[in-house]
Structures are given as structure tokens and as C-alpha cells.
Structure 1
Amino acid sequence: MCELKAVLERREGNRDIIMESTTHVIVEGEVIELTGIFGERENVQGSIKEIDFSKGELIILGND
């Protein structure tokens, strides 16, 4: 199974981990819905900057 660590990158350069084991990502405009391995969900305002499967990382640029 492929899981990604979802990281929110803010304009000032700060990074916060939003979800450790993300298994599903849905993008609806500027809203990104993340679902974790246990079914937990998180909605984030922003856009996807990068997905790096070798690092297991999803970088989201925040709209702040």
C-alpha cells in the first residue's frame, strides 16, 4: 500500500504535517480532502505543489 505524509507549506516557509498516513486525496477547486489509513478526514485550502513517492510526501501550498 502506498501512503503519503501530507505537509502544509505556508507562504513564510513554515511546514506543518497535516496527516501522517494519507491514502486518498480528492481535489475540488482550492479544497483538498485528505483521507488517512484509518478513515480520518481533513480538508485543507490550497494547491498541490509536489508529490514525491520516493520520499512518501505530498506538499500542499496553503492559501494563507
Structure 2
Amino acid sequence: MLAALLESLAIVLLVLAIEIWPWWLATAGLFVLSQALLKWHDSRWVICRHCGESYTHWGRAGP
């Protein structure tokens, strides 16, 4: 949500020809989006308490 807001604000400022802030906002938006994707990816993995193996909620074995 925050990433989409920052990206939208960057596009609006770019259209209005305000040169300084769009690049900073776009970079911040991409950073927030990448952190959200990493958090989502990490939340899919579970570690077995007994054997220590990792697996997803769909039952596939981890690396």
C-alpha cells in the first residue's frame, strides 16, 4: 500500500515537472515494495520442530 502510494506520488510529481523528488520517491517506493515481497516470501516458509527441515504451506521441501 505504501509502495503504491509513493509510486503514484512520484508519477504525479514527474508529470507536474517537479524534478527533484520523483526519483527519491520512486526509489523509496521500490525499496518498500522489495521489503514487502521479502517479508511475504519469508512468511511462506516453515521450519519443522522435530527434524529442522524447511517447507512451504503447500508441503514442498525447501532447499
The verdict on a shared fold, with TM-score over 0.5 as the criterion, is no
Greater RCO between the two (CA within 8 Å, min separation 6)? 1
TM-score with structure 2 length normalisation?
0.22
Structure number with higher helix proportion:
2
The structure with the larger Rg is: 2
TM-score with structure 1 length normalisation?
0.22
